Amino acid sequence: MKRIKRHTHHVHLVHFALLVGLACGCSVQPDSDQPPKVDARKQEVRSIEQGPIVEPPDPPLTTGNPLAGAALFVDPESLAMLRANALRSEHPDQARLLDRIAQQPMAMWMGGWNSDIYRAVDHYVSRAQADGSVPVMVAYNIPERDCGQYSQGGVASGEEYQRWVRLVRSGIAQRPAVVVLEPDALGMLSECLNEDQQRQRLSLLKDAVKVLRQDPNTTVYLDAGHARWLPAPVMAQRLVQAGIAHAHGFALNVSNYVSTEENLDYGQQLSSLVFDKPFVIDTSRNGRGAYEQATTIEESWCNPPGRKLGHVPTTDTGDDLCQAFLWLKRPGESDGECNGGPVAGAFWLDQALTMASDD
């Protein structure tokens, strides 16, 4: 079967709140000639940005289900929640439909739109910590991201990516968090990269897994496409090269529409080839499964019509290998300028209402 190209992704508008600065942390005595004291975390950020890149040691083996019983963070600043609140007085019916999206835990996407990734992550994780819940985040900033398509971008070099990942880790700061690494990166490995670039991408992913796993409370999943993309043995080989042995598991169906049942079957096949690693499934928009009427690959993944919300996020999936159903792609946020949609990541009210409706 000809595979379905996976998806495009978020280019999130960053909330002004994410740009609020941290306190300076400096104190200078009026009559002292001593240098100012620098906040430890500011010093850590400066070291990451300017110092040598140190290879992390292998993290300990993963055990158990780190998501069991976890309360996942519901973002009161999501685009869906902000739009629902804006409509609540004049269009209460629309607001109630949008609440079906806004009141569910969803992932925050991290990429070049975050002008200060350390502050963005620290702010998001801090809000989740204050709420007593666990934030889910998607790292989407690897060089040559999306092969120049709707969500093209990523940092310019491997070194820049390594520093960026270390800033993400610093922003998390040993607090509970879930990170899904680099949608598309393995699925599109051979589509636009030469052999040297492929080796670099695999090395960068492995480094990112190990860096994030230095914090014992960070749960890491490598993106592994979906059930209709690559044969399980092909994806398994790529996962192994990208460091799946050090990750908690892998993620399926990120931003796509393939049914949960298909991905469960695929996940079990894939798990048997990668050390019996568990997985999570993005169920945000797969309530009706893949768009079978598509006549082109793009039609199947870029704002296909008539799609619905899938299973609500939960860490109780009824499957021992599947650790969670997550909403990684935020429903209502466009896949790109296709099928009438706005730019990737922009909130599309009509699509959101359609997905949330019972029709």
Report pLDDT for 227: 98
Catalytic residue among 116, 146, 207, 223: 146
Angstrom distance (rounded) from CA 69 to CA 67: 6
CB 193 within 8 A of CB 146: no
Average pLDDT taken over every residue of the chain: 90
Whether pLDDT at 22 is above 60: no
Q: Which of 75, 122, 184, 207 is catalytic?
A: 184
Q: Tell me if residue 323 falls in helix, strand or coil.
A: strand
Q: Give me the pLDDT at residue 220, please.
A: 98
**116 has catalytic annotation:** no
User: Which pLDDT value is given to residue 23?
Assistant: 34
Q: Which two tokens stand for residue 315?
A: 């860490």
Q: Report which DSSP code applies to 83.
A: H
pLDDT of residue 4: 47
Among 226, 334, 220, which Cα is nearest to 286's? 226
Question: Cβ distance 118 to 167 under 8 Å?
Answer: yes
The whole-angstrom separation of Cα 356 and Cα 175 is 33
Q: Dump pLDDT digits (tens) for 259-294.
A: 999 999 999 999 999 999 999 999 999 999 999 999
Residue 76: CB partners within 8 Å, gap ≥ 6?
A: none
pLDDT at 153: 85
pLDDT of residue 108: 98
Give the C-alpha separation, 129 to 173, whole Å.
11
Is residue 5 scored above 70 in pLDDT?
no
Is pLDDT of 136 > 90?
A: yes
Is the distance from CB of 214 to CB of 245 less than 8 angstroms? no
Per-residue tokens: 357 = 């409706």
Give kind and range of the element (H or E) at residue 107. Answer: none
The model carries a pTM of 0.89
Please name which of 162, 159, 206 lies closest in space to residue 186, comparing C-alpha atoms: 206
CA distance 98 to 85: 9
Nearest one of 47, 45, 54 to 22, comparing CA atoms: 45
Q: How far apart are CA 281 and CA 107, in angstroms?
A: 13
CA distance linking residue 151 with residue 166, whole number of Å: 23
99 is catalytic: no
pLDDT at 146: 81
Q: Mean pLDDT throughout 109-138?
A: 97
Predicted pLDDT of residue 65 = 95
Decide if pLDDT at 147 tops 70: yes
Q: Identify residue 88 by its one-letter amino acid code.
A: R
Quick one: pLDDT at residue 29?
38
Per-residue pLDDT at 26: 39
Q: Which residues contact 57 (CB under 8 A, 6 or more apart)?
A: 210, 214
Which tens digits make up the pLDDT trace of 47-80? Answer: 999 999 999 999 999 999 999 999 999 999 999 9
Question: pLDDT per residue over 93-123, tens digit each?
Answer: 999 999 999 999 999 999 999 999 999 999 9
Greater confidence, 153 or 88? 88
The answer to whether 335 is a known catalytic residue is yes
Angle at 288 between CA 11 and CA 225, to 5 degrees: 50
Closest C-alpha to 75, from 85, 67, 66, 65? 85
Which is higher by pLDDT, 11 or 356? Answer: 356
Overall size of the chain counted in residues: 359
Measure Cα distances from 313 to 1, 282, 325 in Å: 30, 9, 5
Q: What is the CATH number of domain 67-356?
A: 3.20.20.40
Round to whole Å and give the CA distance between 296 and 101. 29
Cα-based distances in Å from 335 to 27, 181, 187, 246, 319: 47, 19, 17, 31, 29
